[in-house]
Amino acid sequence: MSEVIYDFTGNPFVDAGIWAICGLVKKKPDELDKNDLKSVLSDVVQLYLTKKWSKNMYSIFPNNPVTNPSVKNKEERYLKILNQLVDEITPLGNSGSCISCGRRNMLQRSGKDRIPLTGSKRMVNYFSFGADGADYCPACALAVQFTPLVFYACVNLLLVHSNSEKIMKIWSQKAIKNVRKQISSGNYTGCFDEGYKNQKNALFHIIELIQKLKERPDLKKNNLSINFYYFTNYIQNPDLEIYHIPAPVFNFLYDANDIGNYENWMRIVRKGYRYVNWEKVKEENEYKNNPNTVYDNLLIGKSIIGFFIDRKNKEAIGGWDLLGHYLEEVRNMDEKRIETIKKVGDELAEYIKDSDDIKTLKKLETANNYRNYRNLLRIIIKKRIENGAENPLFSFDDYVNHLFPEGNLTWRETQDLILFRIYEVLHDWIIQQGISEKLIIEEEEEEAENV
Ligand SMILES: [Zn+2]
């Protein structure tokens, strides 16, 4: 019979705890035995009893021996509970009443002092069927006791959970490294904390940390996703928010965080911060907790195309390559449409430059309804033919199926993408023209006078 204790359960708290133990003893989940578990109990309890860690415990395990003020011999009491759980562990079987692994039986029901966000023992009024807790087997309940080691503090706590063992491994190692640093320096600062107070920004930072680690384990091609559980188990107001990062967004971020794109991606992200006076900003801490529309939009599936465009400096941030990844991966735009828009952008750029017609660029930028925009393209088509252009700007099929497939609904998106491409191709030329705003206004005035 197999002696394996731990396998992937799908329960975020239990899995995080299993990987925390793995990080401590440097083994894989299925290699852990009772000796491994016993070997780390004392160090962990002592860590939890330090000032900052015990403060975190109020939001994780309220009323456990560490946080319960009436318990005097805290270390002894908590160790006794943990040792008892280890003693009760049996290897994984085929079935059982545990709601986490389903492969062992619950022996004693766990309340919120042991498993966050479960029942409150005698205060049963808010739980289904008046249950006083949740059915966790000793092995799963024990694993959860290690989760504080891999939580990320940003006011409340973030729990990282993924369907990928590699991600779980990378993250637990990163967090345990932070714990070891605290122990070796004697400077106990509590759960992993880098000064984030905004959980959405923090979770994108965590993704960046995971993706930038050296190992880079085929993260992209395996269609991995991550969930973040932002919670507090604080006795007065327990709370939970769940953020799901689907595989397409994770894949795109993998490209964005890549060395070649990172600097540009950070420019795009910085454009997303709200309420920042960039003239006065000296360091990251002054803005990293402000709400960020780029991050918010990625979380709710709204477009961030506009943030790739620097309208003031007529610049296409990140180039077509990075934007193309975004359109394909996250917006699920079909390749033919992306190609067509790029081609039309190229042709328009060529036309503007060859005919020295910066006024047309201005019109492409400022057209504010679908009808005007179509009219403008029609005029350009006519002028191109007059100039002897060999190929049409676009075919009827391109127009209907790829440029404006949903007409009035998505024409703005097409306008932005075309503009992006023109800026990318013509940036140097436009700068040479001195972004001729003044010139255009003068010309328009002249035209008006001539009418
Ligand atoms: Zn279990």
**117 C-alpha vs ligand 1 centroid, how far in Å?**
17
**137 C-alpha vs ligand 1 centroid, how far in Å?**
4
> What does the alpha-carbon distance between residue 366 and residue 375 come to, in Å, rounded to a whole number?
13
**5 C-alpha vs ligand 1 centroid, how far in Å?**
9
Amino acid making up residue 361: L
**pLDDT at residue 259, as a whole number:** 86
Q: Is-contact 325 435, C-beta < 8 A?
A: no
**343 C-alpha vs ligand 1 centroid, how far in Å?**
57
User: 3-state SS string over the chain?
Assistant: CCCCCCCCCCCHHHHHHHHHHHHHHCCCHHHCCHHHHHHHHHHHHHHHCCHHHHHHHCCCCCCCCCCCCCCCCHHHHHHHHHHHHHHHCCCCCCCCCCCCCCCCCCCCCECCCCCCCCCECCECCCCHHHCCCECCCHHHHHHHCCHHHHCEEECEEEEEEECCHHHHHHHHHHHHHHHHHHHHHCCCCCCECCCCCCHHHHHHHHHHHHHHCCCCCCCCCCCCCEEEEEEECCCCCCEEEEEEECHHHHHHHHHHCCHHHHHHHHHHHHHHECCCCCCCCCCHHHCCCCCEHHHHHHHHCCCCHHHHEECCCCEECCHHHHHHHHHHHHCCCCHHHHHHHHHHHHHHHHHHHHCCCHHHHHHHHHCCCHHHHHHHHHHHHHHHHHCCCCCCCCCHHHHHHHHCCCHHHCHHHHHHHHHHHHHHHHHHHHHHCCCCHHHHHHHHHHHHHHC
**15 C-alpha vs ligand 1 centroid, how far in Å?**
11
Q: Is-contact 203 241, C-beta < 8 A?
A: no
> What does the alpha-carbon distance between residue 263 and residue 252 come to, in Å, rounded to a whole number?
15
Taking Cα atoms as reference points, which of 247, 257, 256, 249 lies closest to residue 164? 247
**92 C-alpha vs ligand 1 centroid, how far in Å?**
8
**271 C-alpha vs ligand 1 centroid, how far in Å?**
46
> What does the alpha-carbon distance between residue 430 and residue 426 come to, in Å, rounded to a whole number?
6
> What does the alpha-carbon distance between residue 236 and residue 151 come to, in Å, rounded to a whole number?
20
Q: Is-contact 231 241, C-beta < 8 A?
A: yes
**138 C-alpha vs ligand 1 centroid, how far in Å?**
7
**162 C-alpha vs ligand 1 centroid, how far in Å?**
18
Low-confidence ranges of the chain (pLDDT < 50): 1, 442, 449-451
**231 C-alpha vs ligand 1 centroid, how far in Å?**
22
Tokens of 434: 């001195």
**32 C-alpha vs ligand 1 centroid, how far in Å?**
15
**143 C-alpha vs ligand 1 centroid, how far in Å?**
9
**324 C-alpha vs ligand 1 centroid, how far in Å?**
45
**404 C-alpha vs ligand 1 centroid, how far in Å?**
54
Tokens of 391: 């190929």
**176 C-alpha vs ligand 1 centroid, how far in Å?**
23
**142 C-alpha vs ligand 1 centroid, how far in Å?**
9
**pLDDT at residue 1, as a whole number:** 47
Residue in this structure with the two tokens 């003068």, named with its chain if needed: 442
> What does the alpha-carbon distance between residue 156 and residue 239 come to, in Å, rounded to a whole number?
9
**238 C-alpha vs ligand 1 centroid, how far in Å?**
23
**pLDDT at residue 110, as a whole number:** 92
**313 C-alpha vs ligand 1 centroid, how far in Å?**
58
Taking Cα atoms as reference points, which of 237, 242, 224 lies closest to residue 158? 242
**415 C-alpha vs ligand 1 centroid, how far in Å?**
54
**97 C-alpha vs ligand 1 centroid, how far in Å?**
8
